[in-house]
Structure 1
Amino acid sequence: PYWNKHRSWEKQLFVVLSNCAIFRQFSSDDLYKFLHAMEIHLRYPDEFVVEEGEPGDSLFIILEGTLVFSTSQESVSTRTVGDIIDEHNVLWSSPRSYTMKAKDECVFAKLLRTDYINLCTRHNFYQRERRQQLLRNAKLLEMMSAENIAKIADVLKVRAYPANAKIITQGEAGHEFFIMTAGEAKVTRRTADDEQEHMRYKTGDLFGEVALLKDMPRAATVTAVTKV
């Protein structure tokens, strides 16, 4: 699904989603897919958004105005611009524990649980296919069967490093190997009185496998040049 939105609303939504725990695993491009799937709704003063006890099948982000929460006709709290509401309901559906209505003219974005799950499923499928392709292109694994490539892809874990962060440190134990999915990193070796750069890794490169296979300390340091 795709819902057109004002540019200013898109910026608001991007900031809120970026800071929400259930979206932190996603890239900026992925966040925009969730953002574009969000419906935009308008409510006038005293109009209901949800009622206590009805199924919770979505989250909300307030773009303009204020929403009032109440239970048994008693006002409990208010939420305003930039607040995200009921994000847990896109993970598991549960009945609304309150009634929510507009205090003034209010505009909010709504993401349905079905759209969240659909986009998550597509994301996971794409990431798995991409990891398998990177593994297939690695010379070390070129003789490995498709079944074994798939098994390795399923146990890979995603890590992110900011620029200048050390990914591997010379001399430490080598218990894992890495595949660059994005960014660039440099390889440096330290001697008694010098440290020199020997090469760089880019998207698709596999590294760290020698120390892993031979059970030996890391022979070099790998440092992120850009975000990786």
Structure 2
Amino acid sequence: MDYRVIVTKRSIYNILPRAIIYFLLPVCVFFDFKYDLNILKWVLLAFAIYTIPSIYFALVFVNEKIIVSSEGIIHILPTKKELVYRWGDVKKVYLGSCGQYANSMLIILLSDRKKLKIPFYLKGYDLLKEYMVDHGILGMYSDSPLYYYTNMGKHSKYIYDKSSKIQSFGDSKVDISDVMDTVASGEYLLASDILNQKTNIGMDEAFLYVRQIKYKNERKNKNQ
């Protein structure tokens, strides 16, 4: 079974009803005492009915979720609509700042320039960050230099021969020239997706293999 990481991302629809209630409560108290309307007890009762049993279920149903696996990313909106992205649709994954905290937000930039922002305080953030590091995804980008060499001890079981465009994957020999060109252009996740489609080695292996190509390209450029 494919390993999945689920991040729960609460939207403004979670916060807005509660904020309105808390804003209206002191207003009602003020008018109740000023004009002796005798409505305070009813306001408090309505407040209790809404916040105690109801708010939990309301929050459950409007939570936004992001599900990440080797198959890609599923973004479930508060309306329950599912947006599905392949890894080939992801332009890059990097760390950004959240408020005063540096490198505390995962940012997934899609090919249509849309960004999925996942700050550190969301449930599942640590697991997602661990997933991105473990698969070598986060370390592919200079935006996240702390993770550039992280997990370099984990290698693909397939060895990349930089002298040839024809590579061996088990009993098969495959022309990966388009993968190599895509890596050279900096589209690492797209390259991983293309490689997996050509070889069917699985995205986990494809991530590591593409990182291997990237690393050897950089060493070659430094030696020139």
**TM-score w.r.t. structure 2 length?**
0.27
**TM-score w.r.t. structure 1 length?**
0.27
Structure 1 or 2: larger strand share?
1
